[in-house]
């Protein structure tokens, strides 16, 4: 395990449950990973795997009712985020840890100008006059690549395109110089050419500011080009952890392998695409044993996979996997 003083964010055994009318939804179970300083960690998974809930748990934005963090530790630069007061948490949000979301249209308030929304963040965390805050807002907008920011600072979200709005969100997130940026599917709703621009922008800003990024996505291409470390989640659990190079070079978990194989890749010609059969399990009725076993070519008939949940074990330096059949798994302890 990497030393804690190299890690900006350290999540250990996080579990978040939702107590709904229809039953208990264990959205996140026993999730652990670390984000080193100045690096990008990608959390990959499909819908319902719990990646967004993990991010919201870090920010303590899980609504109660019906959701609650029931277990685990979240250490941010030595501070335990689960234990700090709500006031301290509010200081941290926007200032030390910032978040950007998928849908810029619904994440920006339609009745305020974009300038006002950036200024609001500045004024919340820094003692600046209105005039100074406006100056900071214009600077941020220029930094994120919005042309003619003096004029555009007075525009409303609906007057801007999707890419522009995402840039505004990034400006809002970065105006107080956070150490950690959580990006929840930041480019999923954008066109491919705009996505390239935004990801390029994020990479540049990361280099300039030295911040860490937790990037949540389902797009493995985005992961390959932007992430240093990768965490793969499936059905509320972490199933594999590795550096980006190692993950794509040699994926250990059958789900990761299946995902990589089923992607249609540019330039690759196949008769039929490889598939992962079946569908993502309903969070109300997770299968027994390994959650992936009904869809797994290795585990669907294996009695151990069907009855026992494989814990996440480290099988090499910087590599962990949760699969009974993974290489080097059985002879390691947790």
Partner 1 sequence: MNEDLLLYNTMKHSSEYLVDVKDLKTYFPIRSGVFSKIVGHVKAVDGVSFKIRPGQTLGLVGESGCGKTTVGRTMIRLIPPTEGTFAFDGEDVFSQPQGRMKELRRDIQMMFQDPYGSLNPRMTVGSIIGESLGVHGVARGKERQDRVADLLNKVGLSAQHLNRYPHEFSGGQRQRIGIARALALDPKLIICDEPVSALDVSIQSQIVNLLQDLQEQLNLTYLFIAHDLAVVEHISDFVAVMYLGRIVEYADRDLLYANPLHPYTQALLSAIPEPDPGRRKHRIVLGGEVPSPSNPPSGCPFHPRCPLAEDCCKNEIQELVSKDGNEHLAACWKA
Partner 2 sequence: MTDLTTTTENSKPVKGRSLWADGLRRLRKRKFAMVCFFIVLVYFILAGLIYLNEAFEWKISLFDWRQSVGPSYQKPWLDYEWTPEGQDVPEKGWTFFGTDFLGQSTFRKMVYGAKTSITVALCASFISLLIGVPLGAIAGYYRGWVDDVIVWFYTTLSTIPYILLVMAFAVVLRERTIFGLEIKGITAVYLAIGLTSWVGICRLIRGEIIKRKESEYVLAARAIGCSSGRIIFIHLLPNVFHVIIINFSLRFVSFIHAEVILSFLGLGEADKPSWGAMIDAARTELARNVWWEMAAATVAIFFISLALNIFGDALRDCLDPKLRTD
Which residues would be at the binding site for partner 1 (CB under 8 A)? 46-47, 161-164, 191-197, 199-200, 218-226, 244-245, 248-249, 258-260, 262-267, 270, 272-277, 279-280
Cα dist from 280 to 30, 49, 142, 159, 292, whole Å: 19, 8, 42, 38, 9
CA gap 24, 34 in Å, rounded? 27
287 touches partner 2 (CB under 8 A): no
Q: Check: CB of residue 17 under 8 Å from CB of residue 26.
A: yes
Helices (H) and strands (E) in the chain, counts: 12, 12
Number of Cβ within a 10 Å radius of residue 286: 16
| Only segment of 122-130, 138-146, 225-233, 277-285 that touches partner 2 (CB under 8 A) | 277-285
Choose among 280, 243, 285: nearest CA to 259.
280
Q: Which is nearer to partner 1, 20 or 279 (CB)?
A: 279
- Least distance (Å) from partner 2 to the CB of residue 276? 14
Q: Which is nearer to partner 2, 48 or 163 (CB)?
A: 48
Q: In the set 282, 304, 318, 330, which binds partner 2 (CB under 8 A)? A: 282
| Binding-site partner at residue 321 among partner 1, partner 2, none, CB < 5 to 8 Å by type | none
- Least distance (Å) from partner 1 to the CB of residue 268? 8
| Binding-site partner at residue 66 among partner 2, partner 1, none, CB < 5 to 8 Å by type | partner 2
Q: Check: CB of residue 31 under 8 Å from CB of residue 72.
A: yes
Phi and psi torsions of 261, nearest 5°: -70, -30
- Least distance (Å) from partner 2 to the CB of residue 185? 22
45 token code pair: 């998974």
Would you call 316 helix, strand, or coil by DSSP?
A: strand
| Binding-site partner at residue 197 among partner 1, partner 2, none, CB < 5 to 8 Å by type | partner 1
Site for partner 2 in 7-66 (CB under 8 A): 20-22, 66
Would you call 12 helix, strand, or coil by DSSP?
A: strand
Q: Which is nearer to partner 2, 1 or 284 (CB)?
A: 284
In the chain, what is the greatest distance between 2 CA atoms, to the nearest angstrom?
Answer: 67
279 touches partner 2 (CB under 8 A): yes
| Binding-site partner at residue 225 among partner 2, partner 1, none, CB < 5 to 8 Å by type | partner 1
75 token code pair: 């250490």
Q: Which residues bind partner 2 (CB under 8 A)?
A: 20-22, 66, 278-279, 281-282, 285
């Amino acid at each position: 395990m990497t030393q804690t003083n190299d890690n900006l964010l350290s999540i250990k055994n996080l579990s978040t449950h939702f107590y709904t009318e229809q039953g208990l939804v264990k959205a996140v179970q026993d999730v652990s990973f670390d984000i080193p300083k100045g690096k990008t960690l990608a959390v990959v998974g499909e819908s319902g795997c719990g990646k967004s809930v993990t991010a919201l748990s870090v920010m303590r934005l899980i609504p109660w009712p019906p959701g609650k963090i029931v277990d685990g530790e979240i250490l941010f630069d030595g501070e335990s985020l689960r234990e700090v007061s709500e006031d301290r948490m509010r200081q941290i949000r926007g200032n030390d840890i910032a978040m950007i979301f998928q849908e810029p249209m619904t994440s920006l308030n339609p009745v305020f100008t974009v300038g006002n929304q950036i200024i609001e963040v500045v004024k919340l965390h820094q003692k600046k006059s209105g005039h100074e805050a406006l100056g900071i807002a214009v600077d941020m907008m220029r930094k994120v690549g919005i042309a003619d920011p003096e004029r555009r600072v007075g525009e409303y979200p609906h007057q801007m395109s999707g890419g522009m709005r995402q840039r505004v969100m990034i400006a809002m997130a970065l105006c107080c110089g956070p150490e950690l940026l959580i990006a929840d599917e930041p480019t999923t709703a954008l066109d491919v050419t705009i996505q390239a621009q935004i990801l390029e922008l994020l990479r540049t800003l990361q280099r300039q500011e030295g911040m860490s990024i937790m990037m949540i996505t389902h797009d493995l291409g985005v992961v390959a080009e932007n992430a240093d470390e990768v965490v793969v989640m499936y059905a509320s659990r972490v199933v594999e952890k590795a550096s980006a190079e190692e993950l794509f070079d040699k994926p250990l978990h059958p789900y990761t392998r299946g995902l990589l194989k089923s992607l249609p890749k540019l330039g690759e010609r196949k008769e039929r695409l490889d598939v992962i059969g079946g569908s993502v399990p309903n969070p109300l009725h997770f299968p027994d044993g390994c959650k992936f076993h009904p869809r797994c070519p290795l585990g669907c008939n294996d009695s151990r996979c069907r009855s026992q949940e494989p814990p996440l074990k480290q099988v090499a330096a910087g590599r962990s996997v949760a699969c009974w059949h993974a290489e080097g798994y059985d002879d390691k302890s947790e």
